[in-house]
Amino acid sequence: QEEQESFSFQAEVTQLLNLMANSLYSNKEIFLRELISNASDAIDRLRFERFSQQRAEENAEKPWIRVGFDADAKTITIADNGIGMGRDEVIENIGTIARSGTMEFLRGLTGDQRADANLIGQFGVGFYSAFVVAERVVLVTRRAGLDADQAVRWESDGAGEYSLSAAERDEPGTTIVLHLREGETDLLNSFRLRTIVQRYSDHVGVPILMPVEGSEGSEDESAVNEASALWRRPKSELVEKDYHDYYRHITGDFSEPLTHLHSKVEGRYDYTLLLFVPSNAPYDLWVRDARRKVRLHVQRVFIMDDDGQLMPDYLRFVSGIIDSSDLPLNVSREILQSSLAVEHIRSSATKKVLKLLKDLAEKEPEKYAGFWKEFGTVLKEGIADDYSNRQDVAELLRFTSTHSSTENADVSFRDYIGRMKDGQDTIYYLLAPSFAAATASPHLEAFRAKGVEVLLLGEAVDNWVVGGLMQEFDGHRLQSVAQGAPPDLGDTAEEKEGIEEAAEAHADLIAKVKELLDGKAWDVRVTNRLTTSPACIVAAEPDTDINLAQRMRGTGL
């Protein structure tokens, strides 16, 4: 009898298992999608390891994933001939949740089953979804490169502990046996399983084999899925639904993508892009080191997840595939970092995504408004991070403004310029901690009186984006209304005279105030800024904008 060792799950895993068993009940089918996606990942990783270690010749065995069931034993089995796991890897990957976003995920659960199932897919806590239908899970795995008797058997009932023992497996890969719970036996049905596989896993690039129906007892099996590289198929052959299904397959996101781009580029470098913009921000949009959602393939073979070299940070919500024909299959991260092809692809993919967003803004402004709400804050980072595309990113920015009285950020620089007054050359903005504070600001009084629009910027990033980095847009200077010399609002000679007269009439008062504020204010003067408020504070031109200064103090900068 083999020696068996018991381990406890990390506390979070237990919590997750409980949640999953309860909240995923109406979406229990996704366990199959999750286990198949792991099998497919394992096959990709084995292929990559072999290429990168120049052991391609060992890859004689064709990759496969098998799904089967045993009605008598009440089990479903999912097996693959992928990379497998060594003992330490099993402990590391299956007993703990290493990723920093775990608590984020748990907090993100809404209690809405559909939304939660979606979240689970994106978060990739997929393996544990097995316990939604299984009361006991047995996993036997053999790491490629290790001997047949160095396989590992993992077993758990999902109640807080798991056990490990030594095992044997004829070839590298992983077999997972699910012992179904009472009441889940309707899954022990060939048609049902095929339907689930087709629904969720049609695009997996490896054949998913199942016994041919009616051939029980024989060895006949057939692939249930399409198993083709969708992005390599001509656009003309694909319909919207193909893209949606594929998007769901690679992201686990159940909602439809907002838009996508599919483009085959030929020239100095040949590559294919299939990129998606999601409708909703993924839960980990603000998680540092969240995993990237663009995958690099070389001649259809998965190579690796992007680690920031294919898509800039400010477009980190984009997911999809980049398939290059110019890179060697045994490409390493180091080679990628210095590859001209990668540099070229990144720059062109970035431009294409910005163009995609621009088109969306023009043709489907409502959709773009949804996009802006979800991703606008991230996109603003592009002003700082991507100097070469700054103009294009700036075209995509949207702000609240005094033009509309709503808090919706729907005004672009172009809209603003289109509404400029005769003779107005400057784009005016106000930085304020909130929309309410902005609209109540005395700095707006004169602008209101003259009907000159002011952009109201309320986000933390606006401080350094518009308040610092951007000096102008399309030749129009950006100017804070709370800073510098009085604005030129096209005052008439009469109005200007009025100001001078007021300055003379109140010369004593001004002198007195200056005296009182000595050392605290640079200057005290009568200006055209206000209509009803008696006074306001303005930052000197070369100084930091006063609202910016206040906010920086607030953030401890």
Interface residue with ligand ADP among 24, 76, 109, 125 (CB under 6 A) is 125
Binding mask 171-210 for ligand ADP (x = CB under 6 A): ---x------------------------------------
Measuring CA to CA, which residue among 485, 483, 419 is closest to residue 450? 419
DSSP tally for the chain: helices H, then strands E: 18, 19
What's the CA gap between 91 and 7, in Å, rounded?
Answer: 9
Nearer to Mg ion, 34 or 462 (CB): 34
Only segment of 35-43, 243-251, 425-433, 520-528 that touches ligand ADP (CB under 6 A): 35-43
Interface residue with Mg ion among 126, 205, 257, 467 (CB under 5 A) is 126
Q: Does 250 bind ligand ADP (CB under 6 A)?
A: no
Nearer to Mg ion, 37 or 412 (CB): 37
Only segment of 102-110, 123-131, 132-140, 191-199 that touches Mg ion (CB under 5 A): 123-131
What's the CA gap between 392 and 415, in Å, rounded?
Answer: 15
Measuring CA to CA, which residue among 240, 321, 319, 307 is closest to residue 278? 319
Note the helical H segments in 364-405.
365-385, 390-396
Q: Does 86 bind ligand ADP (CB under 6 A)?
A: no
Binding mask 23-52 for Mg ion (x = CB under 5 A): ---------------x--------------
The Cα-based distances of 99 to 103, 123, 378 in angstroms read 9, 9, 22
Which DSSP category does 172 fall into?
S
Token pair of 515 as six digits? 């005296």
What's the CA gap between 347 and 335, in Å, rounded?
Answer: 17
H or E element, residue 207? none
Q: What is the identity of the amino acid at 402?
A: T
What's the CA gap between 447 and 488, in Å, rounded?
Answer: 10
268: left (phi over 0), alpha (psi -120 to 50) or beta: alpha
Residues facing residue 319 across a β-bridge: 276
What's the CA gap between 3 and 166, in Å, rounded?
Answer: 7
Sorted by sequence, the CB contacts under 8 Å of residue 241 that are 6+ apart come out as none
Q: Does 39 bind ligand ADP (CB under 6 A)?
A: yes
In this chain, which residue has its C-beta nearest to Mg ion?
126
Q: Cα Rg for the chain, rounded, in angstroms?
A: 30
Interface residue with ligand ADP among 42, 167, 196, 229 (CB under 6 A) is 42
Q: Does 127 bind ligand ADP (CB under 6 A)?
A: yes
Residue 541, burial from CB neighbour count under 10 angstroms (0-12, 13-18, 19+): exposed
Is residue 232 helix, strand or coil?
A: helix
Q: How far is the CB of 66 from ligand ADP (least distance, A)?
A: 12
What's the CA gap between 156 and 80, in Å, rounded?
Answer: 20
Sorted by sequence, the CB contacts under 8 Å of residue 216 that are 6+ apart come out as none
Q: Does 63 bind Mg ion (CB under 5 A)?
A: no
Nearer to ligand ADP, 126 or 257 (CB): 126
Q: What is the identity of the amino acid at 543?
A: D
Interface residue with ligand ADP among 23, 27, 38, 424 (CB under 6 A) is 38
Give the DSSP letter string of 72-105: TTTEEEEEE-S----HHHHHHHHS----TTHHHH
Nearer to ligand ADP, 46 or 224 (CB): 46
What's the CA gap between 416 and 413, in Å, rounded?
Answer: 5
Q: How far is the CB of 271 from ligand ADP (least distance, A)?
A: 26
Cβ atoms 138, 177 nearer than 8 A = yes
Q: How far is the CB of 82 from ligand ADP (least distance, A)?
A: 5
Q: How far is the CB of 64 from Mg ion (least distance, A)?
A: 18
Only segment of 60-68, 125-133, 141-149, 349-357 that touches Mg ion (CB under 5 A): 125-133
Q: How far is the CB of 79 from ligand ADP (least distance, A)?
A: 8
Nearer to ligand ADP, 133 or 360 (CB): 133
In this chain, which residue has its C-beta nearest to ligand ADP?
124
Residues facing residue 134 across a β-bridge: 180
Q: Residue 487: which of ligand ADP, Mg ion, none does it interact with, CB under 5 to 8 A by kind? A: none
Q: How far is the CB of 227 from ligand ADP (least distance, A)?
A: 17
Nearer to Mg ion, 38 or 483 (CB): 38
Only segment of 32-40, 52-60, 189-197, 434-442 that touches ligand ADP (CB under 6 A): 32-40
- Residue whose pair of structure tokens reads 């796991």 in the numeric block: 85
Interface residue with ligand ADP among 126, 207, 282, 382 (CB under 6 A) is 126
Q: How far is the CB of 367 from ligand ADP (least distance, A)?
A: 29
Only segment of 120-128, 211-219, 434-442, 453-461 that touches ligand ADP (CB under 6 A): 120-128
Only segment of 119-127, 357-365, 393-401, 505-513 that touches ligand ADP (CB under 6 A): 119-127
CA 89 to chain CA centroid, nearest Å: 27
What's the CA gap between 135 and 159, in Å, rounded?
Answer: 9
Nearer to ligand ADP, 84 or 312 (CB): 84
Q: Does 253 bind ligand ADP (CB under 6 A)?
A: no
Q: Does 32 bind ligand ADP (CB under 6 A)?
A: no
Interface residue with ligand ADP among 13, 94, 356, 361 (CB under 6 A) is 94
What's the CA gap between 352 and 358, in Å, rounded?
Answer: 10
**For binding to ligand ADP (CB under 6 A), which residues are involved?**
34, 38-39, 41-42, 80, 82-85, 93-94, 124-127, 174
Binding residues (CB under 5 A) for Mg ion: these are 38, 124, 126
